[in-house]
Each structure stands twice: as structure tokens, then as C-alpha cells.
């Protein structure tokens, strides 16, 4: 019995090596195809090849393989990556990328890779990652590269602060520019029910009542994700004080300030009125998004990157509104304050990489190409760099409206991934979720947040 298992194991191993061999040659032939998916597997195959080459003959060392840890799942991440890889072939013909797809695991994988010295050459780093890796010198200072590659010249003036960390160094090349939390609504649903766009919370409560009586969810929240509940709190908080959660994160305001207490109270009331679906805290992004796109929910809170998806599903029927406020005066005043903002997230380089200098240049190149692809194919002009590219079709109406509003925006806050205080970040995500669930009171929220901040 044992022998049988062992021998079959051996057989399988032999089969394994032959199959891997076959796979490689098959993929080599498909290398020339520009098909996006074939691209990845081809890259993977050739990267393996390159590795063996490196070890066997170092004198022929023309090809360099750089590993890159980044997202590669939906159109918003695949399109830029594929575009960047294609462009890279011309600009850096000797460089191959070995793609490691990023896991949605709060940085668990990346941190473990760093702790065990296996950090990829290039990786997508969030603010939290940058701050953590900075302490252990596992993230390269890119000041010189940013200068020599012309990155700093291309960086939009408004995004200058995004590139620099607290200590004044550049650790990552950001590709996203300033981003905004938009309050989307389904125009058709509002019109059918004879409703105006709510300006005050009383208007909003009226809308909630009407929608609920029709069996429509007023606002679909994806509250399983802490950032969305934090954003829900922030869009209310910014109506009372323009600092929002950013001021709390930086410690320039306190959760016990009246503005934040009022915001919590308001959100509590809106939740009690039924603004969100009952199971908001266990709803994921796709569930909530589908509710909105299929007309089962009238409103939705998400970043401006959602414009493309919303427009392609709902066309003329979707728009965004300024966040409602306590009264008309603060509604008008609040038009210049948006929740959201930029973050220092971007492509970072492992300083211990064998080809660190080259990796830094490639990281910068990829960042530029990401920006180009986002403008051209994703119709999102809110990127970090001035690419000089035009979109392949007209910008959606919502994006135009946002562009027109941009000059009037005087203050933004932050997305949770841009927050620098990780204790506050964890606290605001879970506490706002409690508030949104309707099972924690505004008083509990304030008291718990006070505890956490101590």
C-alpha cells in the first residue's frame, strides 16, 4: 500500500516536470499575441525562464526579471497594468515583470513577505505600509529617481503633497490624484416618486419615507467594509466641521467636539429613519453596487472612480449630489468641502532588491503608464500626473460636473487608507460600523472613540 502511494507520487512528480515543460513552450509561442490574459501567463512563463538563465549563465545577463506585487482583478486594475506592461516592452526591452497578484487581506501577505525578507522588487504600498516599512528600512527613498525621471515635473501641483511622506521623503510613486467621496443617486427613481434632491436632513428623511413605502432601499451601503461606514460618517461630519475625520486623525480636533457629537447624533437619526438597508453591515461592495445599479436602491456612497461603472449601467439616470446638511446655509457652505482626498499610496521599491535602481525607474515608468491608461481607457482624469493624454471617448457627464466643481473645492478629508494613525483608523472603521448598524448609540460611539484615542 505504502509503496504504491510512493510510486504514484513519483510518477506524478515526473509528470509534473514534463507538464511544466510543455506549458512553457506552449506559452512561448503565444507570447506575440496581444491578448491581455495571454500576456500575464506569458510573462509568468518567461520570468521562470529568465530566472533559470540568471542562475546558469550570468554573462548573458541581459534580461532582468522584476517581481511586482499589485492588484490585478477588475478592469480598473487590469487595464492599466496590461497597458503598462505593453509599454514597458518598448521602453525597457530587457525587463520582464513577474506579477504577484495582491490579496485583499489588510496587508497580511505583504507584511509577512517583508518580515521574512521576501519583499518583491516593486510593490503597491498604502499609507499604512509606507509608515510601517519606513521604520524597518524596507522601502526605498525615491527622491533622486523622482527628480531624474521627471516624475516631479509631471506631478500636478495639487498632488505635490501626496508624493511626500511625513518626513519629507518620497517613498512611493502615487498614480491616483485627489479622489472624492460622491453621493450618487438614481435620477429616474427620484423623478418617478416626485422627489427633489435633498438639501437638508429633513428633506432626506422625507425621501427615506417615500422610498421605503415603495419598497426601495434609500441608500445602499456596503457596510462590511469599514471604509464605507467611515465615509458615511465623514460625509455627515464634514457638514459640521470641514476637518472631518482628517482632523481627528491628525489630532487637531477631538471626537468630543460638538461638531462630531452632532454628526454622530445625525447619523444615528438617519439610520433609525431607515436610510440604509437593514443588513447594511454585512453587505459587501458588489451586493450594494448591484442594488443601486439595478434600481433597487436610490442612493449610493462611493468614490469618484465609480463614475465609469455607474454611467455604463445607468446612463443618463445617474448623477451625484452635494451632501445634504442640517440646514440650507450649511448645505451651501458645504459645497466646497468634500469627503475623500488623496493618499500617498503608490508603487514602492524594495531597497534590498538586486536591481533596486532599475526597479525604481521601472516603478516610475509604470506609475506614468497607469496614469495614462486611467485617463485614456478609464475616463478618469483624477490621476497624480499630467499625462498630456486624452480619453478615447468623451468624459461621462458626472465627471464633467466634478471637473467643473473642482476649482471651488477648498477642503477635503481623507479616505481611511490615507489615514496615518492606525489606531484611530481601526477605531473609526469599526465604531462607524456600529453606528450604521443602528445597534450602537451616538453616545456609545463618542465614548468608545474617546477610549480608543487614549
Partner 1 sequence: METKKGILHKIFIVFCWIYAAFSLYPLIWMLFYSFKTNQEIFVTNPFGFPWPLHYENYITAWTKYDVPLYFLNSLLVSIGTVVITIFCALLFSYATSRMIWRGRTFTRLFLGLGMFIPVQAIMIPVVKVVQKFNLMGTRWSLIFPYIAINLAFACMVYYGFFKGIPLELEEAACMDGANIYQTFFRIIEPLVRPATVTLVIYIFLNAWNEFILANVVVGSIPGLKTLPLGVLFFQGEFTTDWGGMGATMVIASFPAIIVYSIFSEQVESAMTIGGAVKG
Partner 2 sequence: MWPPDLLKRNNTMKKYMGNKLAIFLFVLPALAIFLIFDFFPIIQVFAYSFTDWNGLTTPNFLGLKNYIDLFNDRVFYTSNRNQLIFAIVITVYQMLFATIFAITISDKKMKGRKFLRVAYFIPVILSVTVVCQLWSAILSGQGLLNKLFEAFGSDYTQNWLGDRYKAIYVIAFVNAWQWMGYQFALIVAGIKSIPADYYEAAKIDGCSNVKAHMKITIPLLAETYKFCLIISLTGGIKAFTEMNILTGGGPNKSTFTLTYMMYNAAFKKSDYGYGLASASIMVIECMLVMLVINFIFREKNQLKEEEKSKKRRLSYGN
Chain residues binding partner 1 by CB under 8 A are 2, 5-6, 9, 12-13, 15-16, 19-20, 23, 37-38, 40-41, 44-45, 47-48, 67, 69, 71-74, 76-77, 98, 100-105, 108-109, 112-113, 115-118, 120, 284-287, 289-291, 293-294, 296, 305
**Antiparallel, parallel or unpaired: β 181-186 and 318-321:** antiparallel
Specify the residue for cell string 490621476. Answer: 383
Q: Please, are residues 155 and 385 in contact by the beta-carbon 8 Å criterion?
A: yes
Q: Helix 285-293 to helix 307-314 angle, to the nearest 10 degrees? A: 40
CB nearer to partner 1: give 76 or 250. 76
With binding defined as CB under 8 A, does residue 118 bind partner 2? no
Residue 15 binds which of partner 1, partner 2, none (CB < 5-8 A, kind-dependent): partner 1
User: In this chain, which stretch among 108-116, 266-274, 298-306, 337-345 interacts with partner 2, using CB under 8 A?
Assistant: 108-116
CB nearer to partner 2: give 138 or 339. 138
Closest distance to partner 1 from the beta carbon of 121 (Å): 10
Closest distance to partner 1 from the beta carbon of 288 (Å): 9
Closest distance to partner 2 from the beta carbon of 217 (Å): 9
CA-nearest of 206, 189, 395 to 304 is 395
CA-based Rg of the chain, rounded to a whole angstrom? 25
Specify the residue for cell string 461592495. Answer: 285
Among 7, 33, 94, 112, binds partner 2 (CB under 8 A): 112
CB nearer to partner 2: give 216 or 385. 216
**3-class DSSP assignment, residue 293:** helix
CA-nearest of 205, 231, 221 to 297 is 221
Among 67, 283, 412, 413, binds partner 2 (CB under 8 A): 283
User: In this chain, which stretch among 52-60, 95-103, 110-118, 178-186 interacts with partner 2, using CB under 8 A?
Assistant: 110-118
Cα–Cα distance for residue pair 218/254, rounded to 1 Å: 31
Q: Is the dihedral of CA 203, 209, 214, 216 positive or negative?
A: positive
Cα distances (Å, whole numbers) of residue 169 to 127, 134, 161, 386, 417:
13, 10, 11, 21, 19
User: In this chain, which stretch among 41-49, 165-173, 220-228, 248-256 interacts with partner 2, using CB under 8 A?
Assistant: 220-228
Site for partner 2 in 125-164 (CB under 8 A): 128, 131-133, 135-136, 138
With binding defined as CB under 8 A, does residue 69 bind partner 2? no
DSSP alpha helix (H) spans, 107-194: 108-115, 127-135, 143-148, 151-154, 160-163, 187-192
With binding defined as CB under 8 A, does residue 357 bind partner 2? no
Cα–Cα distance for residue pair 299/353, rounded to 1 Å: 47
Closest distance to partner 1 from the beta carbon of 241 (Å): 28
Q: Residue 137 is placed in which grid cell?
A: 528600512
Q: Please, are residues 326 and 237 in contact by the beta-carbon 8 Å criterion?
A: no
Residue 293 binds which of partner 1, partner 2, none (CB < 5-8 A, kind-dependent): partner 1
DSSP 164: B
Q: Residue numbers of the site for partner 2 (CB under 8 A)?
A: 105-108, 111-112, 114-115, 128, 131-133, 135-136, 138, 223-226, 277-283, 287, 422-423, 425-426, 430-431, 433-437, 439-440, 448, 451
Amino acid at each position: 500500500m505504502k509503496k504504491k502511494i510512493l510510486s504514484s507520487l513519483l510518477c506524478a512528480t515526473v509528470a509534473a516536470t514534463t507538464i511544466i515543460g510543455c506549458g512553457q513552450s506552449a506559452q512561448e509561442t503565444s507570447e506575440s499575441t496581444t491578448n491581455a490574459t495571454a500576456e500575464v501567463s506569458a510573462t509568468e512563463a518567461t520570468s521562470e525562464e529568465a530566472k533559470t538563465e540568471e542562475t546558469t549563465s550570468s554573462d548573458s545577463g541581459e534580461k532582468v526579471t522584476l517581481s511586482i506585487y499589485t492588484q490585478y482583478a477588475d478592469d480598473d486594475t487590469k487595464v492599466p497594468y496590461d497597458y503598462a506592461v505593453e509599454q514597458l516592452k518598448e521602453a525597457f526591452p530587457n525587463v520582464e515583470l513577474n506579477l504577484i497578484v495582491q490579496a485583499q487581506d489588510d496587508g497580511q501577505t505583504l507584511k509577512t513577505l517583508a518580515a521574512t525578507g521576501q519583499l518583491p522588487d516593486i510593490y503597491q504600498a498604502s499609507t499604512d505600509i509606507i509608515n510601517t516599512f519606513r521604520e524597518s528600512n524596507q522601502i526605498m527613498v525615491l527622491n533622486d529617481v523622482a527628480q531624474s525621471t521627471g516624475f516631479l515635473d509631471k506631478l500636478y501641483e495639487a498632488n505635490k503633497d501626496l508624493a511626500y511622506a511625513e518626513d519629507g521623503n518620497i517613498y512611493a510613486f502615487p498614480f491616483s490624484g485627489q479622489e472624492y467621496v460622491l453621493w450618487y443617486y438614481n435620477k429616474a427613481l427620484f423623478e418617478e416618486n416626485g422627489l427633489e434632491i435633498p438639501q437638508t436632513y429633513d428633506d432626506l428623511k422625507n425621501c427615506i419615507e417615500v422610498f421605503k413605502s415603495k419598497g426601495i432601499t434609500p441608500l445602499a451601503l456596503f457596510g462590511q467594509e469599514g471604509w464605507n461606514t467611515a465615509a458615511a460618517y465623514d460625509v455627515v461630519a464634514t457638514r459640521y466641521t470641514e476637518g472631518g475625520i482628517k482632523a481627528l486623525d491628525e489630532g487637531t480636533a477631538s471626537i468630543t467636539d460638538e461638531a462630531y457629537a452632532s454628526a454622530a447624533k445625525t447619523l444615528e437619526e438617519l439610520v433609525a429613519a431607515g436610510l440604509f438597508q437593514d443588513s447594511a453591515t454585512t453587505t459587501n461592495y458588489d451586493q450594494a453596487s448591484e442594488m443601486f445599479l439595478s434600481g433597487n436602491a436610490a442612493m449610493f456612497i462611493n468614490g469618484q472612480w465609480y463614475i465609469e461603472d455607474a454611467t455604463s449601467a445607468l446612463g443618463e439616470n445617474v448623477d451625484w449630489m452635494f451632501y445634504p446638511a442640517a440646514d440650507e446655509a450649511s448645505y451651501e457652505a458645504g459645497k466646497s468641502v468634500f469627503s475623500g482626498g488623496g493618499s500617498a499610496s503608490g508603487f514602492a521599491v524594495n531597497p534590498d532588491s538586486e536591481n533596486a535602481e532599475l526597479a525604481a525607474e521601472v516603478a516610475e515608468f509604470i506609475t506614468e503608464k497607469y496614469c495614462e491608461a486611467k485617463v485614456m481607457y478609464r475616463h478618469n482624469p483624477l490621476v497624480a500626473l499630467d499625462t498630456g493624454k486624452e480619453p478615447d471617448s468623451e468624459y461621462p457627464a458626472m465627471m464633467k460636473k466634478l471637473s467643473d466643481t473642482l476649482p471651488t473645492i477648498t477642503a477635503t478629508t481623507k479616505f481611511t487608507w490615507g489615514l496615518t494613525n492606525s489606531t484611530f483608523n481601526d477605531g473609526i472603521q469599526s465604531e462607524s460600523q456600529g453606528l450604521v448598524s443602528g445597534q450602537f448609540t451616538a453616545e456609545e460611539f463618542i465614548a468608545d472613540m474617546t477610549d480608543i484615542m487614549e
